[in-house]
Structure 1
Amino acid sequence: MQRAGVVSTHPEADDVAAEILREDGTAMAAALGGYFAAAGSEPGVLFAPLTILVGGGGAGGRVFDGRCRQPGVGAKRPRGWTDADRIPEAAYVAVPGSVAAAVVACAYVPGTSVNSVVRRGVAAARRAGAGRRAALVRQVAALGAGILNDAQLKGALLGELGPAQGGLMSSGDLMPPRDLDRPALERDGVWFPPWVSDVPESEGDEAPGAPPSPLGVGHVLCAVDVRGLFVALSFRSCPGWEIEDLEIALPKLAVPVRRGVPRTEPGSPLPTPAPIGLRRNPSGQVVEAIASPRSQRIDEPEIVLRRDPSTLDVSVLRH
């Protein structure tokens, strides 16, 4: 009988999360350890959008918002681009919120330490031969939610993506975002992220043969531990602005300022699908984590991680 379990669409994340659960780690430790392993293994994950949903085991439904933010906090509004202008790529680069959300989520569940989950990411980066990315991931343990103030990363963000280069990045963007933790949205007995449907279907789905999206490839990770705590993650591997010295890529999800058009509010979260949910039974117990990684909606989940409330046995269904 299996009383804890994990399932992920990212192989590296799946292996690491399963190992943590075998060591009697919490579902949050497994989920975030798997996430950081994915972030260490490839350049486009660490600063791509992340959503963390937690509930069960005595915890109410909470969501941690690691979506990217619109850059330009505290900066003067640019004049804006016209239709005739060629907009620089730097103008599309968004402010990461993923690491800050992960650090706050770590503190939410006792027995989950930032050091332990980050260590998995460092090891994965080294296995991938990305020593400079490993060093940056290691800095998460030291700087936590203030990772964007890492000296080398800060220099790249402001030096390569500031107004002088046609970008929108400002020093105000380097502060950890607020309101990272909020109640989950409940509908028909399922807890969802409040922004589960804030992306048009054409942007959220990954249809075969479709042109590459700046949102990249969507992944999910669902975990449940022996205490009955469920955690579901939605994260992405995004192509983007490459910082070669750090072996990472920043998503190009920001909205360039256009002349005569109201600008997207600096610091506001940018639309990102988060196709995850936690289903409760009539008694209020969380019994399933559900996900549809290839879509923004989970009306018909592709992945179900279930814990039987009577036997406590854990099973995985894929559709």
Structure 2
Amino acid sequence: MTKKASVLFVDDEKRVLRSLKALFKPHYNIHITTDGHEALEIVKNNTVHVIVSDQRMPVMTGVELLRQIKQVSPTTMRLLLTGYADLPAIVDSVNDGEIFRYISKPWDNDDIIKIVKKAAQIGQEQAVNTPAPIATSEKQDIELLVIDDDIETYNAVQEIIGQEYTVKWAATLNSAFDILTQGKVMVIISEIHVADEDITLSLKLMKQHHPNIISIVLTHFNDAQSLIALINQGQIFRFLPKPIRKPLLTNSLNAAIQRYRVVQQQPELLIRHSVEEPKPNKMTSGIMTFLNQIKPSQKIQIH
């Protein structure tokens, strides 16, 4: 593509906007504003491939802005840029804004350039080639996997959706991998710590190598930095706190199943789920051995 992508930066600090404009102007068509309402008008009246918004702004927060942007321009890639590790805002950025990346202030120039470049490439491709997602209620043989050593999570999911779909339960990571290698699971509902084991790396690698599997994290865990890593490296679809709130879980399960259906119809949307590669550790090779056993029919490649 020869045309420059359009990027919109929203921040209530003009000095931040000046810095971002100077950094990106040589490569993109840049819009800047300090006002969330003006940002919405810019997106409504222009093709905007990427929006990068601060969180803590007067009148309208970044999460609220990105939530509205998702409605008016679903192909626009949404990034949150903030200097505050505000856990409720980060959770909302996943659940309401469905953001592509979370960027911390102060940013590293090389990192933010790389992130915006990737988002712009996806945004341009989607704006040109991707039709609006097709809503469907068509019955499909969808399996859900609960990964949690607390059976109450399985019971809650089974009660909500078990009459329509097959719900399986794994109380350990190894038993989860055994189920996954059968190649039928489309939605995962997972704790972060299972049987005293941190499984965040597994969730990240799962999304990297099997992007069509939709992940919901349901946990007592409340560390902001770990959640940021799950956004950037795991593209989790929803983050839900424990204790379980049935209405919130019900809405999230239905939304996850609908997202899976849409991705099956339009696999080109999977590029929006591309993730940063997590840093490898001594467990990586063992996890990959299991992930590579997932049947090819369950894989959709991102090009």
Q: TM-score range with shorter-chain normalisation? A: under 0.3
- Whichever structure has more helix as a proportion of its residues is 2
- Whichever structure has more strand as a proportion of its residues is 1
TM-score, scaled to structure 1: 0.21
